[in-house]
């Protein structure tokens, strides 16, 4: 990132006043001047939202520190809030720790003090990258774009937070969530799934950061793990998210679906109420790769499918089909060892507590399956008790084999018994790796590399009824919403502005790639015409586009109305057509 870009990022992070913070009615001439200033700023400021990433230690065992060492690959600037207090040469380690008064003591390796800071410590490297001494990612020294912030945590500890633009963040995510050998189009699909994840509202695990850098969020290894092809994928999907009914979708993905994805409701429980199956998400529906395949929700259908190797998009995965086997004694032991821990999740009935002894197991019996054949409910039948087990992750972790959880819950059991009816062994025939909901990464790789399908077609196969476009925004007379800038990559040189005009705004102004356009909005009568589409394809170029939205209606701050909109670049279409 250039020096100007990092300094502007820091300024935006530190500022307390919104752009165009007008407190009284704004004359049209003043609005035009403000718009010109906004357009000028848009060309210089960070082009995407800033995300706060908690950085863990090498093993991701902790996100809190008593002390830490920071360096830069070029000269770094140390800031106390918005004030630069020191500049340090490249490759100079700065040791940071809390002092007894609640401030931060910064010193060199030789023990000489650099600064003592009682505000927020922020560190930036305008012409290089930031590093953490001794922190490795993907077998290399971890390096980062953006700004480091030292944020106080509980009990005398602090967090290390990387403040970084979303698009730069994604460059450190995509090659670590998907192998680059899966190809450009699959990497583009992964880029959009990852962008959806980080931009979606969530309950934060800490007030100091939005996400962490591990699998607890999504894997972010920083600048030293970037690859040219995955960077291209991020660039060529810039600003684009997957949408369903105006909301960013929960873009679930897993390594291998096994040829048939599953309904969200059949794999996940409600995080608050623990309800299972949970509420459905209409865009996360069970879907076979070969559309003539009938549902696998019976034992016969599941057995036929998972004991064979049909053609499917993720058939190149080493986990497309697999088997596991336990002797009766091995199964008894793994259930005894794991049942109490899985019962503590609330998805085993009756409860099995630590210290309880499991009676002799007679068989594993599947009670209910989803359309992909994924087990929703199964029973462990013993001499004295039958335990019901629900939810795919609980089942996988319960039925460990050689110390490892089952790859997936798309599994069929064969119970082998002797002449007396005693269990001898159980063999599992399965397919897939992971929860199997949403995009199959191996499937996306096959669709892109071997079927030569584009990323939008990949996404619309795995996420039903979605559109692709920019994140929905609101413009209004509120100073922070008076003008909104969006940058996006248009894959087909086509775009529409989708508008929710609930409050009868009369005009929309849009500066599209430096050219101002004013669009008259149709009157909304008794709720009719609330939603409007404006085709702006003739103003769009293939590649990156910039639009600044505003409305003359909002020149008067007393106009307490708003306009909701986004730019659609690929419409909802079951046949994947572009308009």
The torsion angles phi and psi of 455, rounded to 5 degrees, stand at: -60, -35
Beta carbons of 508 and 497 less than 8 angstroms apart:
yes
Given this model, what pLDDT does residue 15 score?
41
Tokens linked to 167: 């698009």
Q: DSSP per residue over 508-558, as a string?
A: EEEEETTEEEEEEPPP--TTTT-EEEEE-GGG--SEEEEEEEE-GGGGSTT
Whether omega before 277 lies within 30 degrees of 0, making that bond cis, reads: yes
Beta carbons of 34 and 26 less than 8 angstroms apart:
yes
Q: How confident is the model at residue 45 (pLDDT cuts 50, 70, 90)?
A: low
How far is Cα 230 from Cα 45, in angstroms, rounded to an integer?
Answer: 24
Angle CA 485–489–490, to nearest 5 = 115
Helix (H, G, I), strand (E, B) or coil at 462: helix
Helix (H) or strand (E) segment spanning residue 311: none
How far is Cα 271 from Cα 268, in angstroms, rounded to an integer?
Answer: 8
Q: How confident is the model at residue 527 (pLDDT cuts 50, 70, 90)?
A: low
Given this model, what pLDDT does residue 28 score?
44
How far is Cα 277 from Cα 270, in angstroms, rounded to an integer?
Answer: 8
Q: What is the pLDDT of residues 92-143, one digit of tens each?
A: 999 999 988 889 999 999 989 999 998 889 999 999 999 999 999 999 999 9
Q: What is the pLDDT of residues 297-317, one digit of tens each?
A: 999 999 999 999 999 999 999
Biggest alpha carbon distance in the chain? 93
Instruction: Find the mean pLDDT for residues 77-96.
Output: 93
The torsion angles phi and psi of 345, rounded to 5 degrees, stand at: -75, -15
Whether omega before 350 lies within 30 degrees of 0, making that bond cis, reads: yes
Q: Who contacts 194 (Cβ-Cβ below 8 Å, separation ≥6)? A: 170, 173, 174, 177, 218, 251
**Which of 58-67, 194-203, 519-528 bottoms out in mean pLDDT, i.e. has the lowest?**
519-528
Residue-range domains of the chain with CATH: 1-46+470-579 (2.60.120), 50-236 (no CATH), 252-437 (no CATH)
Tokens linked to 332: 């008894």
What count of Cα atoms within 13 Å lies in the side-chain half-sphere of residue 533? 9
Q: How confident is the model at residue 539 (pLDDT cuts 50, 70, 90)?
A: very high
How far is Cα 135 from Cα 143, in angstroms, rounded to an integer?
Answer: 9
Is the predicted pLDDT of residue 529 greater than 90, yes or no? no
Helix (H, G, I), strand (E, B) or coil at 238: coil
Given this model, what pLDDT does residue 44 score?
44
**Which of 149-153, 285-289, 552-556 bottoms out in mean pLDDT, i.e. has the lowest?**
552-556
Q: How confident is the model at residue 31 (pLDDT cuts 50, 70, 90)?
A: very low
Is the predicted pLDDT of residue 572 greater than 50, yes or no? yes
Interhelix angle 228-235/184-199, nearest 10 degrees: 60
Q: Left (φ > 0), alpha (ψ -120 to 50) or beta: where does 495 sit?
A: beta
Instruction: Find the mean pLDDT for residues 448-460.
Output: 97
Q: How confident is the model at residue 17 (pLDDT cuts 50, 70, 90)?
A: very low
Average pLDDT, the chain: 90
Q: Is the dihedral of CA 352, 353, 354, 355 positive or negative?
A: negative
Q: What is the pLDDT of residues 467-515, one digit of tens each?
A: 999 999 999 999 899 999 999 999 999 999 999 998 889 999 999 999 9
Q: Left (φ > 0), alpha (ψ -120 to 50) or beta: where does 274 sit?
A: left
The torsion angles phi and psi of 31, rounded to 5 degrees, stand at: -60, -40
Task: Residue 484: count other Cβ atoms within 10 Å of its Cβ.
Answer: 19
Given this model, what pLDDT does residue 528 score?
65
Given this model, what pLDDT does residue 35 score?
44
User: For the chain, how big is the Rg over CA atoms in Å?
Assistant: 27
Tokens linked to 188: 């583009």
Angstrom distances, CA of residue 365 to CA of 94, 382, 528: 60, 11, 54
């Amino acid at each position: 990132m250039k020096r100007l870009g990092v300094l502007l990022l820091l300024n935006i992070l530190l500022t307390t006043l919104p752009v165009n913070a007008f407190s009284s009615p704004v004359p049209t001439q003043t609005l035009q001047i403000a718009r010109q200033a906004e357009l000028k700023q848009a060309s210089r400021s960070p082009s995407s939202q800033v995300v706060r990433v908690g950085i863990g230690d090498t093993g991701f065992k902790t996100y809190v520190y008593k002390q830490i060492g920071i360096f830069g690959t070029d000269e770094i600037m140390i800031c106390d809030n918005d004030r630069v207090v020191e500049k340090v040469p490249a490759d100079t380690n700065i040791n940071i720790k809390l002092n007894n008064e609640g401030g931060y003591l910064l010193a060199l390796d030789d023990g000489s003090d650099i600064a003592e800071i009682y505000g927020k410590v922020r560190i930036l490297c305008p012409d290089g990258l930031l590093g953490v001494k001794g922190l490795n990612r993907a077998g290399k020294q971890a390096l980062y774009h953006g700004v480091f912030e030292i944020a106080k945590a509980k009990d005398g500890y602090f967090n290390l937070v990387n403040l970084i633009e979303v698009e730069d963040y994604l460059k450190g995510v995509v090659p670590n969530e998907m192998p680059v050998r899966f190809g450009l189009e699959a990497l583009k699909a992964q880029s959009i799934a990852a962008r959806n994840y980080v931009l979606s509202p969530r309950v934060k695990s800490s007030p100091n950061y939005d996400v962490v850098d591990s699998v607890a969020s999504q894997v972010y290894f920083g600048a030293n793990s970037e690859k040219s092809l995955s960077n291209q994928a991020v660039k060529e999907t810039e600003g684009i998210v997957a949408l369903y009914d105006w909301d960013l979708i929960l873009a679930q993905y897993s390594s291998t679906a096994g040829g048939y994805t599953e309904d969200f409701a059949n794999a996940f429980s409600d995080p608050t109420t623990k309800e299972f199956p949970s509420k459905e998400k209409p865009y996360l529906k069970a879907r076979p790769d070969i559309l003539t395949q009938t549902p696998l929700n019976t034992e016969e259908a599941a057995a036929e499918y998972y004991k064979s190797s049909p053609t499917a998009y993720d058939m190149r995965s080493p986990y497309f089909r697999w088997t596991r086997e336990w002797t009766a004694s091995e199964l008894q032991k793994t259930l005894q060892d794991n049942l109490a821990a899985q019962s503590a999740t609330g998805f085993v009935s009756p409860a099995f507590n630590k210290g309880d002894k499991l009676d002799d197991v007679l068989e594993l019996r599947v009670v209910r399956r989803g359309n992909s054949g994924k087990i929703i409910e199964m029973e462990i039948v013993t001499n004295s008790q039958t335990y019901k087990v629900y939810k795919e992750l609980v089942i996988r972790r319960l039925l460990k084999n050689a110390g490892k959880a089952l790859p997936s819950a798309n599994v069929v059991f064969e119970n082998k018994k002797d002449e007396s009816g005693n269990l001898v062994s159980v063999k599992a025939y399965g397919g897939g790796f992971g929860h199997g909901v949403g995009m199959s990464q191996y499937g996306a790789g096959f669709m892109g590399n071997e079927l030569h399908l584009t990323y939008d077609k990949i996404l619309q196969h795995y996420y039903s009824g979605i559109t692709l476009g920019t994140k929905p925004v609101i413009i209004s007379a509120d100073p922070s919403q008076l003008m909104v800038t969006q940058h996006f990559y248009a894959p087909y040189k086509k775009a529409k502005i989708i508008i929710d005009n609930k409050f009868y705004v009369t005009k929309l102004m849009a500066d599209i790639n430096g050219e101002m356009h004013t669009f008259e909005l149709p009157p909304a009568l008794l709720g009719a015409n609330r939603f409007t589409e404006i085709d702006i394809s003739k103003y769009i170029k293939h590649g990156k586009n910039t639009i600044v939205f505003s409305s003359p209606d909002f020149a008067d701050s007393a106009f307490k109305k708003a306009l909701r909109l986004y730019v659609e670049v690929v419409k909802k279409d079951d046949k994947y057509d572009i308009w």
